[in-house]
Amino acid sequence: MLIVMRTDAAASDIERVLNTIHSMGYTGHELAGSTRVAIAVTGNDGAIDPAHFENLPGVAKTIRVTQPYKLASRNGSNIRPAVKVGTSEIGGGSFAMIAGPCAIEEREQVMAAAEAVSRSGAAFFRGGAFKPRTSPYAFQGLGLDGLKLLAEVRDRYGLNIITEAMDEHGVDAVIKYADCIQIGARNMQNFSLLKYVGASDKPVLLKRGLSATLEEFLLAAEYVMSVGNAKVILCERGIRTFGNHARNTLDLSIVPAVQRVSHLPIIVDPSHGTGHNYMVTPLARAAAAVGADGLIVEVHPHPERALCDGAQALTTDQFLDLARQLTTLLRALGPDAVAASTSSMSEQ
C-alpha cells in the first residue's frame, strides 16, 4: 500500500502514520516528492485495509498495491493453466464450447439438443435441473430426474456435464451426476455455498453476479479456492446497466481484465448476456475474438416451446452454424488469440 500525505501534512502526521505501520508489524518507507510525502508499506503478506490510515490527520489518500485475492491472482506467473472438467479441459489455450438447453425439460428435448451439441464437436453439455427462477410460479426444473437425464447424455454422447446447484443439497446431487458444478449469478455471493463447493473436488463454473465488480467476482472465486478447490472457471454473463435493448449488458471488457490479473479461465455466456436469439451469434463471435477461453450457449430444439429462456435459445441449426463460424474465426485468429492478453501481460 502507498499512503499519500497531504501537501500541508505536519511532520508529526508523517510520524503518526509511520508508527501505525510499525505497530502493525510492517515497515514504512518515506518517499519525499517535490510537494508532498508518500509512504510505502512493505512486509505485509496480503492486502492492508485502507481504513487503518484513511482517517489519520494529514493523509490525502491510500493506494492499494496488493490485490485482496491471492489464490485467484496470477502471482506474477505467465501461466494460465487449464482446468480439467470430466474428460476434457477448459482454459490453457484451447477454446471450450459448452452448450445445451437452459432447463432440462424432457428426454426428447434433451437428447435432440445433445445430439446437435455432440455433432458440433463441442465437449461440454449444459442444462439446468435446478432452476433459479425470478417467479416462484415459473418452472423450477426437474430436479433429480433432470440430473439422471444429464447422466444419460454423458453415457450416450460422451459429453461432459455442467449443471447448476442452488444449495447444499443440490451440490450433493450434482456431484453424483455431473462433471462440473455451476454456481449461478444470483448465488455468486452466497458465501456458505461457495465454501461448500470449495470443499468438494469437482470443478466449479462460477458465473458473475448481476452487478459484481471484477474484484467481487475474483473474491467469490477466492472463497471456493480458499477451502481447497482450485478448479474454478469464471463466466461473464452480462450485468445490469441502464441499457434496456438487451436482457443484460455483456461486459466483454472483463475478459482481458480478468486475464491480466488472474490465472483462472474465463468463458462468456452470450445467451444470458443478451437475452435475444438474434444477438447470441454476433456476441459469441465477439467473445471468441476478445480472447475468451470458451463459451456457454443455450440451445433448444424448439425454442418456441421452451419452459425457460426460449427467447435467447439458438435452434440446433443456428447452433451448428455458430460452431462452424467459430471454427473459421478461431483458425483465422490463430493459436495466440485465446487469452491473447496473456502474452502482453504486465505484472499487476
Residues that bind ligand PEP (CB under 6 A): 102, 128, 132, 184-186, 207, 237, 272
Which of ligand PEP, Mn ion, none does residue 132 bind (CB under 5 to 8 Å by kind)? ligand PEP
128-147 as b/e, with b when 16 or more CB fall inside 10 Å? Answer: bbbbeeeeeeeebbbeeebb
CB of 228 to Mn ion, least distance (A): 30
Q: Does residue number 233 form part of the binding site for Mn ion (CB under 5 A)?
A: no
Q: Which of 92, 87, 86, 79 is nearest to 294 (CA)?
A: 92
d(CA 326, CA 332) in angstroms, rounded, equals 10
Shortest reach from residue 234's CB to ligand PEP, in Å: 12
* Least separation in angstroms between CB 128 and ligand PEP: 5
CB of 190 to ligand PEP, least distance (A): 12
Alpha helices in the chain (DSSP H): 11-23, 51-54, 107-119, 144-157, 168-177, 191-198, 214-226, 254-261, 270-274, 277-290, 316-333
Pairing of strands 27-32, 37-42: antiparallel
Q: Which of ligand PEP, Mn ion, none lies near 237, with the C-beta cut-off 5 to 8 A by kind?
A: ligand PEP
Task: Give the nearest residue (CB) to ligand PEP.
Answer: 184
Residues 83-112 that bind Mn ion (CB under 5 A): 102
Between CA 182 and CA 185 the distance in angstroms is 9
Stretch that binds Mn ion, among 65-73, 218-226, 261-269, 306-314 (CB under 5 A): 306-314
How far is it, in rounded angstroms, from Cα 269 to Cα 272? Answer: 6
| Count of chain residues binding Mn ion (CB under 5 A) | 2
- What's the min distance (Å) between Cβ of 184 and ligand PEP? 3
Please identify, using beta-carbon distances, which residue of 123 and 239 lies nearer to ligand PEP.
Answer: 239
Number of Cβ atoms within 10 Å of the Cβ of 232: 26
Asked if 299 touches Mn ion (CB under 5 A), the answer is no
Q: Is 309 in the site for Mn ion (CB under 5 A)?
A: yes
The residue ranges that bind Mn ion (CB under 5 A) are 102, 309
